[in-house]
Amino acid sequence: MFRFFKLPIFIVMIIFPAILFSQIKFPVVEDVPDVEFNKTETVEKFKASVTVYGKGAVDGEIILNAGASINPSSDSGRIYTFRDISRITVMKWSVQRKGSGWIYYPDRYEIILKNKTVLMHEGNLGFFNRIRFVRSEGRENTLYTYFYDYFRNGKWINTGTAGEKTPPLKPAAGTAYIIELK
Protein backbone atom coordinates (compact mmCIF):
# COMPACT_ATOMS: atom_id res chain seq x y z
CA MET A 1 0.00 0.00 0.00
CA PHE A 2 2.82 2.44 0.75
CA ARG A 3 4.34 1.57 -2.55
CA PHE A 4 1.38 3.13 -4.36
CA PHE A 5 1.70 6.39 -2.40
CA LYS A 6 5.49 6.68 -2.77
CA LEU A 7 5.37 7.90 -6.37
CA PRO A 8 2.67 10.61 -5.89
CA ILE A 9 4.30 11.78 -2.66
CA PHE A 10 7.67 11.96 -4.40
CA ILE A 11 6.16 13.97 -7.30
CA VAL A 12 4.39 16.35 -4.90
CA MET A 13 7.62 16.85 -2.92
CA ILE A 14 9.53 17.82 -6.03
CA ILE A 15 6.90 19.86 -7.92
CA PHE A 16 5.19 21.70 -5.01
CA PRO A 17 8.33 23.53 -3.77
CA ALA A 18 9.19 24.44 -7.35
CA ILE A 19 5.78 26.10 -7.72
CA LEU A 20 6.05 27.90 -4.37
CA PHE A 21 9.53 29.25 -4.84
CA SER A 22 9.64 29.85 -8.57
CA GLN A 23 10.89 33.25 -9.69
CA ILE A 24 9.11 35.04 -12.51
CA LYS A 25 11.55 36.34 -15.03
CA PHE A 26 10.57 39.77 -16.30
CA PRO A 27 11.20 40.43 -19.96
CA VAL A 28 14.04 42.71 -20.88
CA VAL A 29 12.77 45.74 -22.76
CA GLU A 30 15.12 48.08 -24.47
CA ASP A 31 14.95 51.64 -23.23
CA VAL A 32 12.70 53.72 -25.47
CA PRO A 33 13.59 57.41 -25.62
CA ASP A 34 10.88 59.81 -24.49
CA VAL A 35 8.94 61.57 -27.18
CA GLU A 36 9.30 65.33 -27.12
CA PHE A 37 5.90 66.92 -26.58
CA ASN A 38 5.64 70.54 -27.54
CA LYS A 39 2.27 72.00 -26.59
CA THR A 40 2.72 75.01 -28.85
CA GLU A 41 2.65 72.79 -31.94
CA THR A 42 -0.78 71.36 -31.12
CA VAL A 43 -2.70 74.63 -31.13
CA GLU A 44 -3.27 77.53 -33.48
CA LYS A 45 -3.91 81.12 -32.43
CA PHE A 46 -6.13 83.49 -34.37
CA LYS A 47 -6.48 87.21 -33.76
CA ALA A 48 -10.15 87.83 -33.10
CA SER A 49 -12.79 90.14 -31.77
CA VAL A 50 -15.38 88.22 -29.74
CA THR A 51 -18.77 89.73 -28.92
CA VAL A 52 -20.06 88.63 -25.53
CA TYR A 53 -23.77 89.19 -24.99
CA GLY A 54 -24.40 92.01 -22.52
CA LYS A 55 -20.71 93.00 -22.35
CA GLY A 56 -19.69 94.00 -25.88
CA ALA A 57 -16.70 93.09 -28.02
CA VAL A 58 -13.36 91.95 -26.62
CA ASP A 59 -10.14 91.84 -28.68
CA GLY A 60 -7.50 89.17 -28.37
CA GLU A 61 -6.65 85.72 -29.69
CA ILE A 62 -8.68 82.54 -29.75
CA ILE A 63 -6.74 79.33 -29.29
CA LEU A 64 -7.96 76.25 -31.16
CA ASN A 65 -6.51 72.80 -31.74
CA ALA A 66 -4.24 72.72 -34.75
CA GLY A 67 -6.11 71.95 -37.94
CA ALA A 68 -9.54 72.89 -36.54
CA SER A 69 -12.00 73.13 -39.37
CA ILE A 70 -15.71 73.33 -40.17
CA ASN A 71 -17.69 71.24 -42.65
CA PRO A 72 -20.84 73.37 -43.04
CA SER A 73 -24.09 71.48 -43.55
CA SER A 74 -25.09 73.94 -46.30
CA ASP A 75 -21.94 73.18 -48.31
CA SER A 76 -21.45 69.45 -47.77
CA GLY A 77 -18.20 68.03 -48.95
CA ARG A 78 -16.23 71.22 -48.35
CA ILE A 79 -14.06 71.72 -45.31
CA TYR A 80 -13.06 75.23 -44.28
CA THR A 81 -10.17 75.95 -41.95
CA PHE A 82 -10.32 78.94 -39.64
CA ARG A 83 -7.89 80.73 -41.94
CA ASP A 84 -10.72 80.82 -44.54
CA ILE A 85 -13.30 82.22 -42.11
CA SER A 86 -13.97 85.89 -41.41
CA ARG A 87 -16.90 85.67 -38.97
CA ILE A 88 -18.96 83.06 -37.11
CA THR A 89 -22.26 84.03 -35.51
CA VAL A 90 -24.40 81.74 -33.36
CA MET A 91 -27.93 82.20 -34.69
CA LYS A 92 -29.91 79.67 -32.64
CA TRP A 93 -29.54 77.45 -29.59
CA SER A 94 -31.12 74.06 -28.88
CA VAL A 95 -32.21 73.12 -25.38
CA GLN A 96 -31.57 70.03 -23.26
CA ARG A 97 -32.73 69.30 -19.71
CA LYS A 98 -29.82 69.24 -17.26
CA GLY A 99 -30.66 68.62 -13.61
CA SER A 100 -32.99 71.34 -12.32
CA GLY A 101 -32.21 73.64 -15.25
CA TRP A 102 -31.79 73.69 -18.99
CA ILE A 103 -28.66 73.94 -21.08
CA TYR A 104 -28.69 75.75 -24.41
CA TYR A 105 -26.10 74.63 -26.98
CA PRO A 106 -25.49 76.50 -30.24
CA ASP A 107 -27.45 74.77 -32.99
CA ARG A 108 -27.25 77.08 -36.02
CA TYR A 109 -24.29 79.15 -37.14
CA GLU A 110 -23.83 81.74 -39.84
CA ILE A 111 -20.33 81.50 -41.27
CA ILE A 112 -18.93 84.29 -43.42
CA LEU A 113 -15.80 83.43 -45.36
CA LYS A 114 -13.05 85.91 -46.16
CA ASN A 115 -14.29 86.01 -49.77
CA LYS A 116 -17.71 87.22 -48.40
CA THR A 117 -19.51 83.90 -49.07
CA VAL A 118 -22.20 83.26 -46.47
CA LEU A 119 -22.74 79.69 -45.27
CA MET A 120 -25.11 78.21 -42.70
CA HIS A 121 -24.29 75.29 -40.45
CA GLU A 122 -27.03 73.30 -38.71
CA GLY A 123 -25.98 71.37 -35.62
CA ASN A 124 -23.58 71.91 -32.78
CA LEU A 125 -19.83 72.37 -33.29
CA GLY A 126 -18.69 70.70 -30.08
CA PHE A 127 -15.13 72.05 -30.17
CA PHE A 128 -16.58 75.58 -30.33
CA ASN A 129 -18.69 75.34 -27.13
CA ARG A 130 -15.70 76.40 -25.01
CA ILE A 131 -13.06 78.63 -26.49
CA ARG A 132 -9.69 79.48 -24.97
CA PHE A 133 -9.21 83.21 -25.36
CA VAL A 134 -6.25 85.45 -24.54
CA ARG A 135 -7.25 89.09 -24.16
CA SER A 136 -5.08 91.76 -25.74
CA GLU A 137 -3.70 92.65 -22.29
CA GLY A 138 -2.50 89.04 -21.90
CA ARG A 139 -5.09 87.55 -19.51
CA GLU A 140 -6.39 84.09 -20.56
CA ASN A 141 -10.09 83.25 -20.23
CA THR A 142 -12.48 80.58 -21.36
CA LEU A 143 -15.41 81.86 -23.39
CA TYR A 144 -18.61 79.86 -23.66
CA THR A 145 -21.03 79.75 -26.59
CA TYR A 146 -23.56 77.76 -24.54
CA PHE A 147 -25.47 78.82 -21.43
CA TYR A 148 -27.69 77.54 -18.65
CA ASP A 149 -31.16 78.84 -17.83
CA TYR A 150 -33.79 78.06 -15.20
CA PHE A 151 -37.57 78.42 -15.49
CA ARG A 152 -39.12 79.95 -12.35
CA ASN A 153 -42.40 81.83 -11.79
CA GLY A 154 -43.38 81.85 -15.47
CA LYS A 155 -40.12 83.14 -16.96
CA TRP A 156 -36.56 82.14 -17.74
CA ILE A 157 -34.18 83.51 -15.08
CA ASN A 158 -30.99 84.15 -17.12
CA THR A 159 -32.54 85.35 -20.39
CA GLY A 160 -35.68 87.04 -19.03
CA THR A 161 -37.94 85.41 -21.66
CA ALA A 162 -41.53 84.77 -20.57
CA GLY A 163 -43.30 81.45 -21.19
CA GLU A 164 -41.99 77.95 -20.70
CA LYS A 165 -42.47 76.91 -24.33
CA THR A 166 -40.86 80.07 -25.73
CA PRO A 167 -37.20 79.44 -26.53
CA PRO A 168 -34.94 82.41 -25.81
CA LEU A 169 -34.05 84.34 -28.94
CA LYS A 170 -31.03 85.85 -27.25
CA PRO A 171 -28.41 84.17 -25.08
CA ALA A 172 -27.79 84.76 -21.40
CA ALA A 173 -25.44 87.62 -20.50
CA GLY A 174 -21.82 86.54 -20.72
CA THR A 175 -22.31 84.15 -23.65
CA ALA A 176 -19.96 84.55 -26.62
CA TYR A 177 -21.98 84.56 -29.82
CA ILE A 178 -20.03 86.45 -32.51
CA ILE A 179 -16.42 85.66 -33.37
CA GLU A 180 -14.73 87.88 -35.95
CA LEU A 181 -11.37 86.53 -37.10
CA LYS A 182 -8.85 89.12 -38.23
Question: 162 pLDDT exceeds 90?
Answer: no
Query: How much is the pTM?
Result: 0.71
**159 pLDDT band (50/70/90 cuts)?**
confident
Question: 53 pLDDT exceeds 90?
Answer: yes
Q: Characterise 167 by phi-psi region: left (phi > 0), alpha (psi -120 to 50), beta (else).
A: beta
Q: Which residue has the higher pLDDT, 174 or 77?
A: 174
**97 pLDDT band (50/70/90 cuts)?**
confident
Distance from C-alpha of 74 to C-alpha of 109, rounded to nearest angstrom: 11
| Mean pLDDT of all residues in 19-48 | 65
| 120: Cβ contacts below 8 Å, ≥ 6 apart | 72, 73, 74, 91, 108, 109, 110, 111
Domain boundaries, the chain: 41-181
Residue 84 neighbours by CB distance under 10 Å: 16
What is the DSSP code string of 35-102? Answer: PP--GGGGEEEEEEEEEETTTEEEEEEEEEETT-EE--GGGTT--EETTSEEEEEEEEEEEEEETTEE
Q: Which residue has the higher pLDDT, 91 or 22?
A: 91
